[in-house]
Amino acid sequence: MIQLTINGQARTLDLEPEMPLLWVLRDELGLTGTKFGCGIAACGACTVEVDGAAVRSCVAPLGAVEGKAIRTIEGPPDDVVQALQAAWLTHQVPQCGYCQSGMILAAASLLRSVTDPSDAEIDAGITNICRCGTYQRVRAAIHDAARDLKGLKT
């Protein structure tokens, strides 16, 4: 039995600890907002937050996240995720949308550790792939979300 918290809800799962977190989320729990892209942690479509850090769930074994808090795009948005979602819409970031759940959670993790990231920090911190090429919009949206979050704290 593996215990973890997903989107604020405690879960006890009777699954193999080697099972990738992505398949637990999608196939066992029906949380299909986390997408399968490459299966080798290269594209980032499967990114979730584990204790606030961006993790590629396609290569994260369930046993490695035991006892940790996992946020998927289906979870209730906190201030960081809400600011990003609003900025995403303002800058019309989503095109096909496939990568967006992983991209938003990677950006949220970045903003939790770097509250006012430079372009270089965004480029280094967001390694998710977007086949539509909306990287300039992603960067602009992250800057706007950071400004909005700064305004909330003052």
User: How many whole angstroms separate alpha carbon 85 and alpha carbon 89?
Assistant: 6
Q: pLDDT 10s digit of each residue in the chain, 154 long?
A: 999 999 999 999 999 999 999 999 999 999 999 999 999 999 999 999 999 999 999 999 999 999 999 999 999 999 999 999 999 999 999 888 899 999 999 999 999 999 999 999 999 999 999 999 999 999 999 999 999 998 876 5
Domain boundaries, the chain: 2-71, 79-153
The CATH architecture assigned to 2-71 reads Roll (3.10)
- Give the class (CATH, top level) of 79-153: mainly alpha
